[in-house]
Structure 1
Amino acid sequence: MFIGHLPGAYLIFRTATPDVGKLAFAAAMLGAVAPDLDMLWFYLVDNRAHHHHAYLTHRPIVWVALLFAGLALRLFYPKAGTVLAFFGAGGVVHMALDSIVGKIAWAWPYSDYSQPLVVVQATHSHWILSFLNHWTFAVELAITALAIALWLWRRRNSTCVLSSDNG
């Protein structure tokens, strides 16, 4: 996914948990993009020696552990636990979305096996062009358009509710 992580997570969390607090929602959005922070390491330190999906930040167990740690923490610290759980859930959403055309090792550390749902063939001179011209990128664009439409709809409806409350 190139542009779909944030819009995809927005759609999932806004529809599945529409009344969640702003801090938890922000944590989910941050979690949905946090795994790709490993791109800094990929380019600046690792010199592109290993695919960034091989890094710990792209291991689903990390995000599932954060999700469950947050759920456990909620028993003693409800606000902090909720924020951590939503951050972890955002990372899980990222892993699920990456699994469409990327190799994510869901059974790691027990197995390194990974296979994308859809294989993008190298049809152009650069791998990015191959991805951008593949039908899955149209799905990303559709997800993005839907997320924008939902955001606009929620914004319009919240303004209508606010203005009807005043008069």
Structure 2
Amino acid sequence: MFIGHLPGAYLIFRAATPNLGKLAFAAAMVGAVAPDLDILWFYFVDDRGHHHHSYLTHRPIIWAGFLLCGAVLRLWLPRAGTALAFFGAGGLVHMMLDSITGQVAWLWPLSDATYPLVTVQATHSHWILSFLNHWTFKVEIAIVLLALIVWFISWRKSTKTG
């Protein structure tokens, strides 16, 4: 996904947890984009030596660990634990969305095997053009538009009642 992580996570968390508090929701949204911070390492340190999905930030076990630690932390620090758990959940949503066309090793460290649902063939001179012209990018645009519509309706309701 290029532009769909935040909108996709927004739709998932709004639908699955409609009464989620602001802190937990914000943590989930940050978690939904945090795995792609590895792009900075990819370009500025690794000199594009490895695909960024091979870094630890794209290992689902890391995000499941955040979620589990947050669930345990909730026993003593409910707000912090909830925020950490939803941060991890956001990262897992990112992994799910990346698994559509990307290579995510769900069984790592037991296996490095990846099985994207859809393979984007190199049909253009640059890989980005191949992605932008693939049918999955149209789905991604639809996700963005739907998230904007849901957000706008939610915003209108909150301005009328508040």
Aligned to 1:136: 136
Query: What's the CA shift for 1:12?
Result: 0.7
Answering whether residue 22 of structure 2 is matched by residue 2 of structure 1, we say no
Gap regions ≥5 residues in structure 2: none
Separation (CA, whole Å) in 2 of partners of 1:115 and 1:12: 22
How many positions carry a matched residue from both structures?
162
Name the TM-score, length of structure 1 as normaliser. Answer: 0.96
Aligned to 1:22: 22
Aligned to 2:63: 63
Separation (CA, whole Å) in 2 of partners of 1:40 and 1:157: 38
Aligned to 1:43: 43
Separation (CA, whole Å) in 2 of partners of 1:19 and 1:155: 15
Query: What's the CA shift for 1:115?
Result: 1.7
CA shift digits 1:9-61 (9 cap, x unpaired): 00011111111111111110000000000000000000000000000000000
Deviating more after overlay: 27-36 vs 12-21? 12-21
Aligned to 2:76: 76
Query: What's the CA shift for 1:156?
Result: 0.8
Separation (CA, whole Å) in 1 of partners of 2:24 and 2:140: 24
Separation (CA, whole Å) in 1 of partners of 2:22 and 2:87: 12
Task: Output the amino acid matched with 2:146.
Answer: L
Separation (CA, whole Å) in 1 of partners of 2:71 and 2:139: 32
Aligned to 1:94: 94
Query: What's the CA shift for 1:130?
Result: 0.3
CA shift digits 1:113-164 (9 cap, x unpaired): 01211000001111000000000000100100000000000011112222xx
* Larger gyration radius, structure 1 or structure 2: 1
Separation (CA, whole Å) in 2 of partners of 1:59 and 1:122: 25
Task: Output the amino acid matched with 2:91.
Answer: G
* Runs of 4 or more above 4 Å deviation: none
Task: Output the amino acid matched with 1:120.
Answer: V
Identity of aligned residues (%): 71
Give the SS at the match of 1:100. Answer: helix
Separation (CA, whole Å) in 2 of partners of 1:56 and 1:135: 29
Answering whether residue 126 of structure 2 is matched by residue 126 of structure 1, we say yes
